[in-house]
Amino acid sequence: MSKELAKTYDPNGIEDRLYQKWLDKKYFHAEVDHSKTPFTIVIPPPNITGQLHMGHALDNTMQDILIRYKRMQGYNALWQPGTDHASIATEVKIIQKLKEEGIDKHDLGREKFLERAWEWKKEYGGRIISQLKKLGSSCDWDRERFTMDEGCNKAVTEVFVKMHEKGYIYKGARIVNWCPVCNTSISDAEVEYQEQAGHFWHIKYPLMNEDGTPSTTEFLTFATTRPETMLGDTAVAIHPDDERYTHLHGRKVLLPIVNRVIPIVEDAYVDREFGTGVVKITPAHDPNDFEVGKRHNLPVINILNDDATINKNGGKFEGMDRYEARKAIVEELDQMGLLVKIEDHVHNVGTHDRCKTTIEPMVKDQWFVKMDELIKPAREAVKNGEIKLIPERMEKNYFNWTDNIRDWCISRQLWWGHRIPAYYCDDCGEVVVAKEMPKVCPKCGCTHFTQDPDTLDTWFSSALWPFETLGWPEQTEDLKYFYPTDVLVTGYDIIFFWVIRMIFSGYEQMGEKPFKTVLFHGLVRDSQGRKMSKSLGNGIDPLEIISQYGADALRLTLITGNAPGNDMRFYYERVENSRNFANKVWNASRFIMMNMEQALEKTGKDITTPAAADLQPVDQWILSKLNTLVKDVTDNMDHFELGIAVQKVYDFIWDEFCDWYIEMVKPRLYSTDDAVSQNAALWTLKTVLIDALKLLHPYMPFITEEIFCTIQNEEESIMISKWPEYSEDRAFPAEEKAIETIKEAVRGIRNIRTEMNVAPSRKASVYVVSENDEIRKIFEEGKLFFASLAYANEIMIQADKTGIADDAVSVVIPGATLYIPFAELVDIAQEIERLKKEQKRLEGELSRSKGMLSNERFLSKAPEAKIAEEKEKLAKYEQMMEQVTKRLEQLA
């Protein structure tokens, strides 16, 4: 052995170097190979505008753990990477940049704007990829894709045209989320609900008399948070079974200000228990009202322009901003005596997650995907277990979406994105959906067409991600071999926006599920449990953590204690613990290698595999513990219990291997007279370390690679080494039981010595007394290391208590009692002197404390907390005095 580890573990010194080695060796790359079983994961494509955050770090660490594990198991493992064009997020960023240059998007024009967008993609698109590499992500970067590359564009067009032909895609006027600042419809995923202080305005509408005049005495009262939308009311609704309003069935009310007579409709949507049980119905500006309107054939009156100012349907309020109009309408209602009261009300308001503007539900002419039939196979797949959701409780959320799904608005009023392949005849307006611009209008014969200006919702293209990245719509070898993929790892917050859409798209386009398992993780929150956000300023940059502690420490922190679907809190103390663990592994490895080197220098021979008879029980114990660990960890990994698996590896390395086994074999390493025993110890140390490193590798790839490549010369990388497997030949239950017996004895002796304040440097005789031949044999065979661990100068093993002093301190374990002569543990004269000094100090403290607590002046003037503190001190001193007195009596 000539190679050696650096004296101290410095992740900055090894991580970039090792990652480049893996890239150069093409370890991440996968090609079709029918001699191997494929295992595929597609990355949830991060936005090209993205900066690596803790959610990305967790998500990609989990994927990397799974892909590295499967690669080591011999699977042909493909982790398919790529990025998302993120229509609205990117467009917002580019518009902001143009504004800084004093340029308006519309002045620039569509073509020039798109040129700038591609420049932006070129400059910033690779940023998050380079950050994922810092994390250690072993994606097949040779296959990197982009949701607007030529292949994805072809796939999107293919799907749109095909689904339009089948009647699944249509254009129609329906209610959508509208952003008045970005001037586009947005998906539900881009609506962020924020708690805002608002009001409930209680308003009353006059009932209409039979003679067609409004009543001056009868009114219907309701409450609303958006009074300005009354300009578009086309009904008020009551519950059909609400006895309070039975007499109003078929009646009408007058819509004040607008002076429009509108009907009272009965609909089960109304909550009888909420407020007055009356709801105003504005089909153009509320999704629930829109559905009520459809059921009752109500007119749809839109009162807003695209910029959220009032349009011509608002009469005298036309041109006013929505909030300006709200104020004016409330004032007018008050003057008319129709404003009953105003209540403060805190409620969730939908805002656009990009520009933070309050969104407006509006009826717009848009492109939609008809969902009622498409969703059926997606629902059935999870119901019958063809697709497994982990944790299982996510099924409830999943079915909540599938059972209440609405048609999907897929058009966006943006320039950056996949342009909708719909073409309008310039003469007759005929709409032609085709893969490319038609040459002749099928209706009028015109040869001039204008393409629909809208682009598709980003989720439309990412819904095709599992198969479009493998070459679809072409039937490529990659597609046949790697599809369906195996696991999707994602946050529970996009179960509908992405997961469900990929599933129904897979069944519709491929006739097969897109993946077998969906592994959901929770959010990474701050140490107080708050969601990380810019507004709170509590975000933690993973790159800073990597720079300070290393990628391995960050990865271990994110997975330790992590359970599928559960949120986790991020503490810096946990990162420090992870770094400390890395140091522990590093230092233990250096210790082993240093002893291997010394043995080589002395004997001139490398470590050899010992004969079975040369292994001591302690060697068999650690090999057996490792063997069980391999079985347990493999089982945990197969069940996606990544947090449980790594905790077992962590505990084994830190506790069993470093704190016990290494300490147990030190006397054999330092002994020069038994080369066979020393070789067996060194072989066991090296063997166990290498297998433990393999189990740890998916979690901490860098440190495990550096140690692995330094301690052995047979294999060039731990990444492509074989995952350890359970072997009956390495199961030693009797030896496990034996060493656990010795460990229990050591713990008992150490506890006694700690209680008696005995320094580790003070050695003492230890008697092991047992009538059981087997137990005596255990201690006889382990005598050498037991003496070292028990701080003993000699070990006597006997069947009875003969020759042991009556004052000997005892430790009882199953089947045996251990005795230590009292005088050997403690210098009695010195201990008595120390205890008397302590007794005198405590007498002073007790006198002072009792004096204070009997002082009426102190009790009447001191704060309650101070008195309580003093009482606690008194109780503590009394307890200490009792212990000191008892100890002095024993010594006397």
Rounded Cα distance between 477 and 467, Å, is 12
- Positions at the binding site for ATP: 534
Does residue 483 contact residue 467 with C-beta atoms inside 8 Å? yes
- Provide the residue type at 170 as one letter: Y
Secondary structure E strands in 731-853: 764-769, 792-798, 809-813, 816-820
Cα–Cα dist 172/510, whole Å = 28
Residue 734 to residue 412: CA distance in whole angstroms: 69
| Rounded-to-integer distance, Cα 787 and Cα 803, Å | 19
Q: Which segments are annotated as binding site? A: 534
User: What's the rounded Cα separation, in Å, for the pair 849 and 112?
Assistant: 84
DSSP characters over 434-476: -SS--SS-TTT----EEE---EE-HHHHHTTHHHHTTTTTS--
Q: Cβ atoms within 10 A of the Cβ of 403, count?
A: 9
User: Which H or E run contains 852?
Assistant: helix 828-853
Q: Identify the helix (H) or strand (E) that includes residue 110.
A: helix 110-124
Cross-strand pairs, 363: 175
Burial class (CB in 10 A: 0-12, 13-18, 19+), 157: buried
**Three-state SS annotation for 379-433:** HHHHHCCCCEEECCCHHHHHHHHHHCCCCEECEECCCCCCECCEEEECCCCCEEE
Look up residue 709 and give its amino acid: C
b/e burial code for range 367-398 (CB count within 10 A of at least 16 → b):
bbbbbeebbebbbebbeeeebbbbeeebeeeb
Q: Tokens 């897979």 — which residue?
A: 506
- The pair of three-digit structure tokens given for residue 676, joined into one six-digit string: 């066979």
Cβ–Cβ under 8 Å, residues 884 and 838:
yes
Q: How far is CA 753 from the centre of its chain?
A: 45
CB 377 within 8 A of CB 172: no
Both tokens assigned to 436: 């490319």
Cβ atoms 86, 565 nearer than 8 A: no
Please give the torsion angle defined by the CA atoms of residues 505, 507, 510 and 516, in that order, rounded to the nearest 10 degrees.
100
Residues near 350 by beta carbon (within 8 Å), at least 6 away in sequence: 177, 191, 192, 193, 358, 359
Q: Are strands 455-456 and 449-451 parallel, antiparallel or unpaired?
A: unpaired
| Residue 842 DSSP symbol | H
C-alpha–C-alpha distance, residues 230 and 799, integer Å: 96
The token duo for 562 is 């992590």
Q: Which residues contact 404 (CB under 8 A, 6 or more apart)?
A: none
**What does residue 286 show for φ and ψ, rounded to 5 degrees?**
-155, 130
| Paired tokens of 582 | 């890395």
CA distances from 297 to 194, 235, 255, 287 (A): 33, 11, 18, 15
> Could you tell me the two tokens for 623?
């090999």
Given a contact cutoff of 8 angstroms between Cβ atoms, the answer to whether 564 and 520 are in contact is yes
